[in-house]
Structure 1
Amino acid sequence: MSKAVVHGERPRARYRTRNWREYDRGLIARGDLTVWISPDLTWHVEEGTGRRGRPRVFTDVAIQAVLTLKVLYQLPLRAAQGMAGGLIRLAGLDWKVPHYSTLSRRQKDLTVTIPYRARGGPLHLIIDSTGLKVLGEGEWKVRKHGADKRRVWRKVHLVIDADSHEVRAVEMTDHRHGDGEIVPGLLAQLPKAEQIGVISGDGAYDTRGVYEASAARDAALVVPPRRNGKPWKARTAGAAERNESLRAIKRLGRRLWKRWSGYHRRSLAETAMSRLKRLGERLSARDPARQVAEVQIRCAILNTFNALGMPDTVAVA
Protein backbone atom coordinates (compact mmCIF):
# COMPACT_ATOMS: atom_id res chain seq x y z
CA MET A 1 0.00 0.00 0.00
CA SER A 2 1.54 3.26 -1.10
CA LYS A 3 1.88 6.18 1.27
CA ALA A 4 -0.31 9.19 0.64
CA VAL A 5 1.43 12.31 -0.59
CA VAL A 6 0.92 15.32 1.65
CA HIS A 7 -1.06 18.03 -0.16
CA GLY A 8 1.24 20.67 -1.61
CA GLU A 9 4.42 18.59 -1.43
CA ARG A 10 6.19 17.35 -4.54
CA PRO A 11 6.87 13.59 -4.58
CA ARG A 12 10.51 12.75 -3.97
CA ALA A 13 12.38 11.85 -7.15
CA ARG A 14 13.55 8.25 -7.48
CA TYR A 15 16.61 7.12 -9.43
CA ARG A 16 17.96 3.85 -10.72
CA THR A 17 21.55 2.94 -11.62
CA ARG A 18 21.55 1.01 -14.89
CA ASN A 19 25.18 -0.13 -14.89
CA TRP A 20 25.50 -1.26 -11.28
CA ARG A 21 27.78 -4.25 -12.02
CA GLU A 22 30.30 -2.15 -13.94
CA TYR A 23 30.14 0.63 -11.37
CA ASP A 24 30.59 -1.87 -8.54
CA ARG A 25 33.76 -3.19 -10.18
CA GLY A 26 35.01 0.38 -10.56
CA LEU A 27 34.47 1.10 -6.87
CA ILE A 28 36.47 -2.00 -5.98
CA ALA A 29 39.25 -1.02 -8.40
CA ARG A 30 39.69 2.31 -6.59
CA GLY A 31 41.41 0.40 -3.80
CA ASP A 32 43.84 -1.32 -6.16
CA LEU A 33 47.29 0.11 -5.43
CA THR A 34 48.58 -1.01 -8.85
CA VAL A 35 46.50 1.82 -10.32
CA TRP A 36 49.17 4.20 -9.01
CA ILE A 37 52.33 2.02 -9.11
CA SER A 38 52.64 -0.26 -12.14
CA PRO A 39 55.47 -1.49 -14.42
CA ASP A 40 54.06 0.68 -17.22
CA LEU A 41 55.25 3.90 -15.57
CA THR A 42 58.34 5.70 -16.84
CA TRP A 43 60.08 5.83 -13.48
CA HIS A 44 63.69 6.89 -14.13
CA VAL A 45 64.99 9.75 -16.24
CA GLU A 46 66.79 8.61 -19.37
CA GLU A 47 70.45 9.49 -19.84
CA GLY A 48 71.53 12.53 -21.82
CA THR A 49 68.65 14.94 -21.19
CA GLY A 50 70.87 17.96 -21.82
CA ARG A 51 69.85 19.72 -18.59
CA ARG A 52 72.46 21.73 -16.71
CA GLY A 53 73.42 20.76 -13.19
CA ARG A 54 73.00 17.49 -11.40
CA PRO A 55 70.83 15.14 -13.48
CA ARG A 56 67.49 14.08 -12.11
CA VAL A 57 66.99 10.43 -11.26
CA PHE A 58 63.17 10.31 -11.19
CA THR A 59 60.64 11.50 -13.73
CA ASP A 60 57.73 13.78 -12.87
CA VAL A 61 55.50 10.72 -13.32
CA ALA A 62 57.37 8.90 -10.54
CA ILE A 63 57.22 11.86 -8.18
CA GLN A 64 53.51 12.33 -8.88
CA ALA A 65 52.85 8.62 -8.25
CA VAL A 66 54.44 8.71 -4.78
CA LEU A 67 52.80 12.03 -3.90
CA THR A 68 49.48 10.55 -5.01
CA LEU A 69 49.87 7.84 -2.38
CA LYS A 70 50.68 10.56 0.15
CA VAL A 71 47.57 12.60 -0.69
CA LEU A 72 45.19 9.67 -1.11
CA TYR A 73 46.10 8.00 2.18
CA GLN A 74 46.99 11.26 4.01
CA LEU A 75 50.53 10.14 4.83
CA PRO A 76 53.62 12.08 5.91
CA LEU A 77 56.39 12.21 3.31
CA ARG A 78 58.47 9.56 5.07
CA ALA A 79 55.52 7.16 5.25
CA ALA A 80 54.76 7.79 1.55
CA GLN A 81 58.36 6.88 0.73
CA GLY A 82 57.97 3.68 2.74
CA MET A 83 54.68 2.71 1.07
CA ALA A 84 56.09 3.30 -2.41
CA GLY A 85 59.16 1.23 -1.58
CA GLY A 86 57.00 -1.63 -0.32
CA LEU A 87 54.84 -1.62 -3.47
CA ILE A 88 57.92 -1.58 -5.70
CA ARG A 89 59.38 -4.59 -3.89
CA LEU A 90 56.06 -6.48 -4.00
CA ALA A 91 55.85 -5.83 -7.74
CA GLY A 92 59.34 -7.30 -8.19
CA LEU A 93 60.70 -4.12 -9.78
CA ASP A 94 64.29 -2.93 -9.44
CA TRP A 95 63.36 0.74 -9.21
CA LYS A 96 64.89 3.16 -6.76
CA VAL A 97 62.59 4.88 -4.26
CA PRO A 98 62.50 8.71 -4.14
CA HIS A 99 63.78 10.00 -0.81
CA TYR A 100 61.33 12.10 1.17
CA SER A 101 63.59 15.15 0.79
CA THR A 102 63.49 14.67 -2.98
CA LEU A 103 59.71 14.45 -2.87
CA SER A 104 59.49 17.68 -0.89
CA ARG A 105 61.87 19.54 -3.21
CA ARG A 106 60.31 18.31 -6.45
CA GLN A 107 56.73 18.98 -5.32
CA LYS A 108 57.43 22.71 -5.42
CA ASP A 109 57.83 22.82 -9.21
CA LEU A 110 56.14 19.56 -10.19
CA THR A 111 54.25 19.45 -13.49
CA VAL A 112 51.19 17.43 -12.52
CA THR A 113 49.41 15.47 -15.25
CA ILE A 114 45.62 15.48 -14.76
CA PRO A 115 44.21 12.69 -16.95
CA TYR A 116 40.91 13.12 -18.76
CA ARG A 117 38.96 11.31 -21.45
CA ALA A 118 38.77 13.21 -24.74
CA ARG A 119 35.26 13.75 -26.09
CA GLY A 120 34.10 14.59 -29.57
CA GLY A 121 31.21 17.02 -29.10
CA PRO A 122 31.11 20.51 -27.59
CA LEU A 123 31.75 20.61 -23.85
CA HIS A 124 29.33 21.76 -21.19
CA LEU A 125 31.58 23.22 -18.50
CA ILE A 126 30.62 24.16 -14.94
CA ILE A 127 32.71 26.62 -12.93
CA ASP A 128 32.70 26.97 -9.16
CA SER A 129 35.02 27.53 -6.20
CA THR A 130 35.46 26.27 -2.66
CA GLY A 131 37.83 26.73 0.27
CA LEU A 132 40.44 24.41 1.75
CA LYS A 133 41.96 25.03 5.16
CA VAL A 134 45.70 25.58 5.60
CA LEU A 135 46.10 26.70 9.21
CA GLY A 136 43.82 26.71 12.22
CA GLU A 137 42.38 24.44 14.86
CA GLY A 138 39.89 21.64 14.32
CA GLU A 139 36.15 22.08 14.01
CA TRP A 140 35.53 21.01 17.62
CA LYS A 141 37.77 23.76 19.02
CA VAL A 142 36.09 26.34 16.77
CA ARG A 143 32.67 25.31 18.04
CA LYS A 144 33.89 25.29 21.63
CA HIS A 145 36.07 28.42 21.76
CA GLY A 146 35.49 30.28 18.51
CA ALA A 147 37.59 30.72 15.37
CA ASP A 148 41.33 31.24 15.64
CA LYS A 149 42.69 34.44 14.09
CA ARG A 150 45.43 32.37 12.44
CA ARG A 151 42.97 30.35 10.37
CA VAL A 152 44.11 30.55 6.74
CA TRP A 153 42.21 29.28 3.73
CA ARG A 154 42.99 28.76 0.07
CA LYS A 155 40.37 29.18 -2.62
CA VAL A 156 40.20 26.39 -5.21
CA HIS A 157 38.55 27.14 -8.57
CA LEU A 158 37.45 24.15 -10.67
CA VAL A 159 36.11 23.65 -14.17
CA ILE A 160 34.01 20.47 -14.38
CA ASP A 161 32.87 18.62 -17.48
CA ALA A 162 29.13 18.21 -16.86
CA ASP A 163 28.94 14.98 -18.89
CA SER A 164 32.01 13.09 -17.65
CA HIS A 165 32.21 14.78 -14.19
CA GLU A 166 35.96 15.21 -14.74
CA VAL A 167 38.03 18.18 -13.63
CA ARG A 168 39.26 19.97 -16.75
CA ALA A 169 40.98 23.00 -15.18
CA VAL A 170 42.01 24.09 -11.70
CA GLU A 171 43.44 27.22 -10.10
CA MET A 172 44.26 28.06 -6.48
CA THR A 173 44.20 31.58 -5.05
CA ASP A 174 43.77 33.28 -1.71
CA HIS A 175 40.43 34.65 -0.50
CA ARG A 176 41.09 38.12 -1.91
CA HIS A 177 40.57 37.04 -5.52
CA GLY A 178 37.06 37.09 -6.94
CA ASP A 179 35.62 34.14 -8.83
CA GLY A 180 35.09 36.01 -12.08
CA GLU A 181 38.66 37.24 -12.53
CA ILE A 182 40.01 33.64 -12.54
CA VAL A 183 37.85 32.43 -15.45
CA PRO A 184 40.13 33.55 -18.35
CA GLY A 185 43.06 31.64 -16.85
CA LEU A 186 40.92 28.57 -16.27
CA LEU A 187 39.64 28.48 -19.85
CA ALA A 188 43.19 28.96 -21.13
CA GLN A 189 44.06 25.55 -19.65
CA LEU A 190 41.76 23.83 -22.14
CA PRO A 191 43.18 23.21 -25.64
CA LYS A 192 42.06 25.87 -28.12
CA ALA A 193 41.04 23.17 -30.58
CA GLU A 194 38.53 21.79 -28.08
CA GLN A 195 35.06 23.22 -28.65
CA ILE A 196 33.13 24.61 -25.69
CA GLY A 197 29.37 24.74 -26.08
CA VAL A 198 28.08 26.03 -22.72
CA ILE A 199 29.66 27.45 -19.55
CA SER A 200 27.54 27.48 -16.37
CA GLY A 201 28.18 29.27 -13.10
CA ASP A 202 26.42 31.03 -10.25
CA GLY A 203 25.79 34.74 -9.87
CA ALA A 204 29.40 35.43 -8.86
CA TYR A 205 30.35 34.99 -12.53
CA ASP A 206 28.00 37.71 -13.76
CA THR A 207 30.87 39.98 -14.81
CA ARG A 208 32.02 41.50 -18.07
CA GLY A 209 35.33 39.63 -17.88
CA VAL A 210 33.56 36.25 -17.75
CA TYR A 211 31.32 37.12 -20.70
CA GLU A 212 34.37 38.26 -22.68
CA ALA A 213 36.25 35.05 -21.87
CA SER A 214 33.31 32.84 -22.88
CA ALA A 215 32.74 34.85 -26.07
CA ALA A 216 36.41 34.36 -26.98
CA ARG A 217 35.78 30.59 -26.90
CA ASP A 218 32.44 30.91 -28.78
CA ALA A 219 30.61 29.48 -25.78
CA ALA A 220 27.17 30.33 -24.43
CA LEU A 221 27.16 31.49 -20.82
CA VAL A 222 24.40 30.35 -18.43
CA VAL A 223 24.80 32.61 -15.41
CA PRO A 224 21.94 34.23 -13.48
CA PRO A 225 22.28 38.03 -13.52
CA ARG A 226 22.65 39.64 -10.13
CA ARG A 227 19.35 40.54 -8.47
CA ASN A 228 20.12 44.25 -8.78
CA GLY A 229 21.65 43.81 -12.25
CA LYS A 230 20.96 46.41 -14.95
CA PRO A 231 21.01 45.92 -18.74
CA TRP A 232 24.35 46.35 -20.46
CA LYS A 233 25.07 48.48 -23.50
CA ALA A 234 24.93 46.62 -26.79
CA ARG A 235 28.66 46.97 -27.56
CA THR A 236 29.62 45.01 -24.42
CA ALA A 237 30.57 41.36 -25.03
CA GLY A 238 27.63 39.09 -24.17
CA ALA A 239 25.30 42.05 -23.64
CA ALA A 240 22.50 40.65 -25.85
CA GLU A 241 22.64 37.27 -24.13
CA ARG A 242 22.65 38.76 -20.63
CA ASN A 243 19.93 41.35 -21.38
CA GLU A 244 17.71 38.58 -22.74
CA SER A 245 18.19 36.66 -19.48
CA LEU A 246 17.20 39.77 -17.53
CA ARG A 247 14.01 40.13 -19.60
CA ALA A 248 13.17 36.43 -19.22
CA ILE A 249 13.67 36.55 -15.44
CA LYS A 250 11.51 39.63 -15.17
CA ARG A 251 8.77 37.99 -17.26
CA LEU A 252 8.93 34.37 -15.97
CA GLY A 253 10.59 34.64 -12.58
CA ARG A 254 14.06 33.49 -11.53
CA ARG A 255 12.98 29.95 -10.58
CA LEU A 256 11.38 29.21 -13.95
CA TRP A 257 14.31 30.78 -15.81
CA LYS A 258 16.74 28.48 -14.02
CA ARG A 259 14.71 25.43 -15.03
CA TRP A 260 14.26 26.62 -18.62
CA SER A 261 17.94 27.53 -19.11
CA GLY A 262 19.33 24.28 -17.64
CA TYR A 263 21.03 26.22 -14.85
CA HIS A 264 20.44 23.44 -12.31
CA ARG A 265 23.17 21.31 -13.90
CA ARG A 266 25.51 23.65 -12.06
CA SER A 267 24.84 21.58 -8.93
CA LEU A 268 27.24 18.99 -10.37
CA ALA A 269 30.05 21.36 -9.37
CA GLU A 270 28.97 21.11 -5.74
CA THR A 271 29.16 17.32 -6.03
CA ALA A 272 32.71 17.63 -7.39
CA MET A 273 33.67 19.95 -4.51
CA SER A 274 32.31 17.43 -2.02
CA ARG A 275 34.38 14.65 -3.60
CA LEU A 276 37.46 16.88 -3.53
CA LYS A 277 37.02 17.52 0.20
CA ARG A 278 36.66 13.81 0.94
CA LEU A 279 40.39 13.70 0.28
CA GLY A 280 40.75 16.08 3.20
CA GLU A 281 39.49 19.56 4.05
CA ARG A 282 42.99 20.67 5.03
CA LEU A 283 46.04 21.12 2.82
CA SER A 284 49.10 19.46 4.32
CA ALA A 285 51.63 21.58 2.37
CA ARG A 286 52.50 24.96 3.86
CA ASP A 287 53.91 27.03 1.00
CA PRO A 288 51.68 28.02 -1.97
CA ALA A 289 53.73 26.28 -4.69
CA ARG A 290 53.47 22.89 -2.98
CA GLN A 291 49.81 23.52 -2.20
CA VAL A 292 49.10 24.00 -5.92
CA ALA A 293 50.67 20.62 -6.70
CA GLU A 294 48.69 19.00 -3.89
CA VAL A 295 45.40 20.34 -5.23
CA GLN A 296 46.27 19.27 -8.78
CA ILE A 297 47.10 15.75 -7.54
CA ARG A 298 43.70 15.62 -5.85
CA CYS A 299 42.06 16.46 -9.17
CA ALA A 300 44.12 13.76 -10.91
CA ILE A 301 42.90 11.23 -8.32
CA LEU A 302 39.25 12.19 -8.90
CA ASN A 303 39.59 11.87 -12.69
CA THR A 304 41.30 8.49 -12.33
CA PHE A 305 38.47 7.27 -10.12
CA ASN A 306 35.95 8.47 -12.72
CA ALA A 307 37.76 6.55 -15.47
CA LEU A 308 37.51 3.35 -13.42
CA GLY A 309 33.72 3.55 -13.43
CA MET A 310 30.86 6.02 -12.98
CA PRO A 311 27.17 5.30 -12.33
CA ASP A 312 24.69 5.63 -15.18
CA THR A 313 21.73 6.91 -13.17
CA VAL A 314 18.29 7.76 -14.58
CA ALA A 315 15.10 9.03 -13.01
CA VAL A 316 12.21 6.56 -12.72
CA ALA A 317 8.53 7.29 -12.44
Structure 2
Amino acid sequence: MVDSTSLKFLGEGEWKRKKHQPEYRRQWHKLHIAIDAETLQIRAVQLTTNNVSDSQVLSDLLDQIPLDEQIDSVYTDGAYDTKRCRQVIADRQAHAVIPPRKNARPWKDTKSHSQERNELLRTVKRLGRTLWKKWSGYHRRSLVETKMHCIKLLGEKLSAKNLTIKSTRFMHVWQS
Protein backbone atom coordinates (compact mmCIF):
# COMPACT_ATOMS: atom_id res chain seq x y z
CA MET A 1 0.00 0.00 0.00
CA VAL A 2 1.38 3.35 -1.02
CA ASP A 3 0.54 6.88 0.08
CA SER A 4 2.10 10.27 0.71
CA THR A 5 1.67 13.14 3.14
CA SER A 6 3.19 16.56 3.65
CA LEU A 7 5.60 17.36 6.46
CA LYS A 8 6.21 20.94 7.55
CA PHE A 9 9.71 22.22 8.14
CA LEU A 10 11.32 25.54 8.77
CA GLY A 11 13.95 26.53 6.24
CA GLU A 12 17.31 27.99 7.19
CA GLY A 13 16.73 31.24 9.05
CA GLU A 14 12.99 30.88 8.75
CA TRP A 15 12.56 30.61 12.50
CA LYS A 16 13.91 34.19 12.74
CA ARG A 17 11.34 35.44 10.24
CA LYS A 18 8.63 33.62 12.15
CA LYS A 19 9.73 35.23 15.38
CA HIS A 20 10.04 38.78 14.04
CA GLN A 21 7.38 39.00 11.34
CA PRO A 22 3.67 38.20 11.54
CA GLU A 23 3.60 36.49 8.12
CA TYR A 24 6.04 33.89 6.94
CA ARG A 25 6.06 31.32 4.19
CA ARG A 26 5.94 27.75 5.40
CA GLN A 27 7.86 25.16 3.42
CA TRP A 28 7.10 21.47 3.37
CA HIS A 29 8.32 18.15 2.05
CA LYS A 30 6.34 15.12 0.97
CA LEU A 31 6.84 11.79 2.66
CA HIS A 32 5.96 8.80 0.46
CA ILE A 33 5.74 5.35 2.06
CA ALA A 34 4.92 1.81 1.06
CA ILE A 35 3.77 -0.58 3.78
CA ASP A 36 3.16 -4.30 3.98
CA ALA A 37 -0.58 -4.82 4.50
CA GLU A 38 -0.03 -7.94 6.63
CA THR A 39 2.66 -6.70 9.04
CA LEU A 40 2.07 -2.92 8.71
CA GLN A 41 5.85 -2.60 8.43
CA ILE A 42 7.16 0.30 6.39
CA ARG A 43 8.86 -1.31 3.38
CA ALA A 44 9.93 1.78 1.45
CA VAL A 45 10.33 5.50 2.11
CA GLN A 46 11.02 8.46 -0.13
CA LEU A 47 11.20 12.06 1.07
CA THR A 48 10.80 14.64 -1.69
CA THR A 49 10.26 18.33 -2.14
CA ASN A 50 6.68 19.53 -2.48
CA ASN A 51 6.90 19.87 -6.27
CA VAL A 52 7.32 16.11 -6.91
CA SER A 53 4.07 14.35 -7.75
CA ASP A 54 3.05 11.10 -6.10
CA SER A 55 3.11 9.18 -9.37
CA GLN A 56 6.75 10.15 -10.02
CA VAL A 57 7.88 8.35 -6.86
CA LEU A 58 6.14 4.97 -7.18
CA SER A 59 8.97 3.39 -9.19
CA ASP A 60 11.57 4.44 -6.60
CA LEU A 61 9.43 3.07 -3.76
CA LEU A 62 8.94 -0.31 -5.40
CA ASP A 63 12.65 -0.47 -6.27
CA GLN A 64 13.43 -0.34 -2.54
CA ILE A 65 11.63 -3.66 -2.09
CA PRO A 66 13.94 -6.53 -3.13
CA LEU A 67 13.00 -8.21 -6.42
CA ASP A 68 12.93 -11.63 -4.76
CA GLU A 69 10.10 -10.47 -2.47
CA GLN A 70 6.68 -11.08 -4.00
CA ILE A 71 4.32 -8.11 -4.22
CA ASP A 72 0.75 -9.35 -4.69
CA SER A 73 -1.14 -6.06 -4.97
CA VAL A 74 -0.36 -2.37 -4.87
CA TYR A 75 -3.14 -0.21 -3.38
CA THR A 76 -2.90 3.51 -4.11
CA ASP A 77 -5.19 6.49 -4.52
CA GLY A 78 -6.22 8.06 -7.81
CA ALA A 79 -3.08 10.22 -7.99
CA TYR A 80 -1.27 7.09 -9.21
CA ASP A 81 -3.76 6.40 -12.03
CA THR A 82 -1.16 6.87 -14.77
CA LYS A 83 0.21 4.61 -17.49
CA ARG A 84 3.68 4.80 -15.99
CA CYS A 85 2.50 3.72 -12.52
CA ARG A 86 0.45 0.85 -13.88
CA GLN A 87 3.43 -0.28 -15.98
CA VAL A 88 5.77 -0.18 -12.95
CA ILE A 89 3.29 -2.29 -10.97
CA ALA A 90 2.87 -4.73 -13.87
CA ASP A 91 6.66 -5.04 -14.16
CA ARG A 92 6.68 -6.39 -10.59
CA GLN A 93 3.95 -8.91 -11.53
CA ALA A 94 1.62 -7.23 -9.04
CA HIS A 95 -2.05 -6.35 -9.32
CA ALA A 96 -2.86 -2.61 -9.34
CA VAL A 97 -5.77 -1.57 -7.13
CA ILE A 98 -6.10 2.07 -8.16
CA PRO A 99 -9.43 3.86 -8.54
CA PRO A 100 -9.73 5.69 -11.84
CA ARG A 101 -9.72 9.45 -11.64
CA LYS A 102 -13.14 11.09 -11.70
CA ASN A 103 -12.60 12.44 -15.23
CA ALA A 104 -10.90 9.26 -16.52
CA ARG A 105 -11.18 8.24 -20.16
CA PRO A 106 -10.26 4.87 -21.69
CA TRP A 107 -6.67 4.46 -22.84
CA LYS A 108 -6.21 3.65 -26.51
CA ASP A 109 -3.05 1.52 -26.36
CA THR A 110 -3.26 -2.29 -26.23
CA LYS A 111 -0.89 -3.02 -23.33
CA SER A 112 -2.34 -5.41 -20.77
CA HIS A 113 -2.28 -2.88 -17.92
CA SER A 114 -4.14 -0.38 -20.14
CA GLN A 115 -6.77 -2.96 -21.07
CA GLU A 116 -7.15 -3.88 -17.39
CA ARG A 117 -7.70 -0.21 -16.51
CA ASN A 118 -10.24 0.19 -19.32
CA GLU A 119 -12.15 -2.79 -17.93
CA LEU A 120 -11.96 -1.17 -14.49
CA LEU A 121 -13.50 2.02 -15.93
CA ARG A 122 -16.40 0.00 -17.33
CA THR A 123 -16.84 -1.82 -14.02
CA VAL A 124 -16.87 1.40 -11.99
CA LYS A 125 -19.36 2.89 -14.42
CA ARG A 126 -21.64 -0.16 -14.06
CA LEU A 127 -21.32 -0.76 -10.30
CA GLY A 128 -20.52 2.71 -9.04
CA ARG A 129 -17.40 3.78 -7.17
CA THR A 130 -18.64 2.76 -3.70
CA LEU A 131 -19.54 -0.79 -4.68
CA TRP A 132 -16.27 -1.19 -6.62
CA LYS A 133 -14.29 -0.14 -3.53
CA LYS A 134 -16.04 -2.82 -1.45
CA TRP A 135 -15.68 -5.46 -4.16
CA SER A 136 -11.97 -4.75 -4.78
CA GLY A 137 -10.97 -4.53 -1.12
CA TYR A 138 -9.90 -0.93 -1.64
CA HIS A 139 -10.93 -0.15 1.95
CA ARG A 140 -7.70 -1.91 3.07
CA ARG A 141 -5.90 1.24 1.94
CA SER A 142 -7.04 2.82 5.19
CA LEU A 143 -4.17 0.89 6.83
CA VAL A 144 -1.60 3.12 5.14
CA GLU A 145 -3.65 6.19 6.08
CA THR A 146 -3.54 5.02 9.70
CA LYS A 147 0.23 4.56 9.49
CA MET A 148 0.57 8.09 8.11
CA HIS A 149 -1.52 9.43 10.98
CA CYS A 150 0.82 7.73 13.47
CA ILE A 151 3.84 9.23 11.73
CA LYS A 152 2.34 12.72 11.92
CA LEU A 153 1.43 12.30 15.59
CA LEU A 154 4.87 11.09 16.59
CA GLY A 155 6.94 13.68 14.85
CA GLU A 156 5.88 15.70 11.87
CA LYS A 157 8.75 18.14 12.07
CA LEU A 158 12.07 16.66 11.00
CA SER A 159 15.10 18.44 12.38
CA ALA A 160 17.68 18.31 9.60
CA LYS A 161 18.45 20.75 6.81
CA ASN A 162 19.49 18.17 4.22
CA LEU A 163 16.74 16.11 2.53
CA THR A 164 18.91 12.95 2.51
CA ILE A 165 19.67 13.25 6.22
CA LYS A 166 15.97 13.74 6.98
CA SER A 167 15.12 10.60 5.05
CA THR A 168 17.85 8.61 6.82
CA ARG A 169 16.70 9.81 10.24
CA PHE A 170 13.13 8.93 9.42
CA MET A 171 14.10 5.39 8.36
CA HIS A 172 16.20 4.93 11.50
CA VAL A 173 13.32 5.95 13.77
CA TRP A 174 10.61 3.93 12.02
CA GLN A 175 12.59 0.77 11.34
CA SER A 176 13.70 0.36 14.96
Give the TM-score, by structure 2 length: 0.90
- Quick check: which has more Rg, 1 or 2? 1
Kept in 1, the 8 Å contact 2:45–2:167? The answer is no
> Which of residues 75, 81, 85 is equivalent to 1:206?
81
| Alpha-carbon distance in 2 for matches of 1:246, 1:269 | 24
Where 2:86 maps in the other structure, the secondary structure is helix
| Alpha-carbon distance in 2 for matches of 1:172, 1:147 | 27
Structural mapping, 1:105-184, within 5 Å: 126-135=1-10, 148-149=24-25, 151-184=26-59
When the two chains are superposed, the root-mean-square deviation of aligned CA atoms in Å is 1.9
Q: Which residue of structure 1 lines up, in the alignment, with residue 92 of structure 2?
A: 217
Where 2:154 maps in the other structure, the secondary structure is coil
Structural mapping, 1:258-297, within 5 Å: 258-297=133-172
Where 2:8 maps in the other structure, the secondary structure is strand
What is the CA distance between 1:188 and its match in structure 2?
0.7
Where 2:103 maps in the other structure, the secondary structure is coil
What is the CA distance between 1:133 and its match in structure 2?
1.4
What is the CA distance between 1:276 and its match in structure 2?
1.3
| Alpha-carbon distance in 2 for matches of 1:254, 1:133 | 33
> Which of residues 36, 46, 71 is equivalent to 1:196?
71
The structure richer in helix per residue is: 2
Where 2:72 maps in the other structure, the secondary structure is strand
What is the CA distance between 1:296 and its match in structure 2?
1.3
1:171-192 CA distances to partner (integer Å, 9 max, x unpaired)?
1100111101111111111111
Q: Give the count of matched residue pairs.
A: 170
Kept in 2, the 8 Å contact 1:276–1:298? The answer is no
Kept in 1, the 8 Å contact 2:90–2:113? The answer is yes
Where 2:160 maps in the other structure, the secondary structure is coil
Alignment-mate amino acid for residue 160 of structure 2: A
In structure 2, do the counterparts of structure 1 residues 134 and 248 end up closer, same or farther at CA, with 3 Å as the change threshold? same
What is the CA distance between 1:291 and its match in structure 2?
1.0
| Alpha-carbon distance in 1 for matches of 2:54, 2:111 | 20
Moved more, 275-284 or 181-190: 275-284
| Alpha-carbon distance in 1 for matches of 2:23, 2:108 | 45
Kept in 1, the 8 Å contact 2:9–2:158? The answer is yes
| Alpha-carbon distance in 1 for matches of 2:56, 2:166 | 20
Q: Any unmatched runs of 5+ in structure 2?
A: none
